[in-house]
Amino acid sequence: MKQQRILPLSTTLLAGLTALPAHAELEVTPYGSLRIQTEAVFVDQAQPGEDDSYTGLRDAYSRLGVTANYNDFEHFDISATVEFPINSARLRAEDPTFFHELYKEDNNSMPRVADITVSNDRYGSLRVGTQWLAYYNTVAYPLDFFSSFYSGYATQASFRRDAITYTTPSMGGLTATISGVDLTDEQGTSYLDTIQYALSYAVNDDLAFGIGYQDSEQDSAKHADQAGISAAWAPGNWRFAAKVEQLLTNNNTVQDDDPLTYNLMGSYSWAKYTLRAMVAHGEETDEGDAFFQGDSAQIGLDYRHTENLKFFAEYFYEELGYAIYTPNSDSFNPLAGYHAESDGQVLTVGMRFDF
């Protein structure tokens, strides 16, 4: 039975803010980021009706948003964020990956983020709404540091969903998180159909570890559970990060079950430059929840011209189709076909302006 929604989530959050007492100290901050790239794309064999190569523009996750903070409200701090995706290459308010459309059908312009957080130094924080997920934040985010559209693809994690998340205060660098997640959105399942658990440990300012687990819903399909670990080390101008993920198959018909994913990234910063490189591998499988499969590699150079303006150049490679889209994409549509032999390559140059 589908769960009824009374109001869109972003509308509910804004209405909740206006209902707070006027004596609380309110700070409202609008923000935005324009991120766009020009790219030259090549694949061995494109899907029927598409060329094997093209040049064009692609958005790299532009966004517009606003944050509101109520500080010292009855010993708690309350903050809210509403952030919309902007596809600058198509001049539309939409997610350039079209993952939102896969989550909530025909709603690719939904907010990237629309949440309220109540926090206290002693009791931790509670976040409600459309948000970045605990498993992604702990396991995948430490390697999601590139500047182009192709950043962060080499993972099995879901990025954002509706969720209710509790995070403990830091205890000697140790932080625990539990989150109820709406992973499938009304596909005959309960609203919060999936549970995520995460544990992170900051040894010091330079070294951190994370572990995450996703107990996936089983009502709409025999979805795989997920487990992952990550580590990040930043000595001086260097930074290194690695992760290992495993899908824990629940479908008995899957032959290549429990596939693994590995990533290793390194970067070096000097003056106004940062050079990054990453290699990744996802075991090939018939597990339906294995988004990333095959080999992938990425190299990038950033130049920070000012505090708000950055230029970047990157090279990206995929063995199997998953991240290189058709030109002028209006849906999730890999150029070579999803998980088809691609040997795809991208050369891209772009800019990011934050305001």
Whole-angstrom Cα distance, residue 68 to residue 82?
9
pLDDT over 50 (residue 238): yes
pLDDT over 80 (residue 22): no
In the chain, % of residues over pLDDT 90: 81
Q: Is the dihedral of CA 231, 343, 34, 304 positive or negative?
A: positive
Per residue in 103-145, pLDDT tens? 877 678 889 999 999 999 999 999 999 999 999 999 999 999 9
Q: Count CB-CB contacts under 10 A for residue 201.
A: 16
Whole-angstrom Cα distance, residue 217 to residue 187?
11
**Mean pLDDT (whole number) for 308-313:** 98
Distances (CA, A) of 22 to 18, 70, 73, 115: 9, 10, 10, 20
User: Hey, is 24 helix, strand or coil?
Assistant: coil
**Mean pLDDT (whole number) for 47-62:** 97
Whole-number pLDDT of residue 108? 81
Q: Going from the N-terminus, what domains does the chain have, and what CATH number goes with each?
A: 25-354 (2.40.160.10)
Whole-number pLDDT of residue 249? 96
pLDDT over 80 (residue 91): yes
pLDDT over 70 (residue 183): yes
pLDDT-based confidence at residue 4 (cuts at 50, 70, 90): very low
Q: In the chain, where do the E strands start and end? A: 25-42, 53-59, 62-73, 76-86, 113-120, 124-132, 160-167, 174-182, 194-202, 207-215, 225-233, 238-248, 260-270, 273-282, 294-304, 309-320, 341-354
Whole-number pLDDT of residue 16? 57
pLDDT-based confidence at residue 220 (cuts at 50, 70, 90): confident
Whole-angstrom Cα distance, residue 320 to residue 43?
10
Is there a contact between 82 and 114 (Cβ–Cβ < 8 Å)? yes
- DSSP H helices, 47-181, are 99-103, 134-135
In the chain, % of residues over pLDDT 70: 92
Q: Which of 129, 18, 112 is nearest to 64 (CA)?
A: 112
pLDDT over 90 (residue 189): no
**Mean pLDDT (whole number) for 36-58:** 97
User: Hey, is 311 helix, strand or coil?
Assistant: strand
Q: Would you give the distance in Å from CA 127 to the centre of its chain?
A: 17
Distances (CA, A) of 342 to 19, 41, 42, 53, 155: 53, 11, 9, 12, 18
pLDDT-based confidence at residue 186 (cuts at 50, 70, 90): low
pLDDT-based confidence at residue 7 (cuts at 50, 70, 90): very low
Q: Count CB-CB contacts under 10 A for residue 48.
A: 6
CA R_g for the chain: 20
**Mean pLDDT (whole number) for 48-53:** 96
Q: What is the mean pLDDT of the chain?
A: 92
Whole-number pLDDT of residue 2? 37
Per residue in 319-351, pLDDT tens? 999 999 999 888 999 999 999 999 999 999 999
The one-letter code for the residue type at 135 is Y
Whole-number pLDDT of residue 3? 40
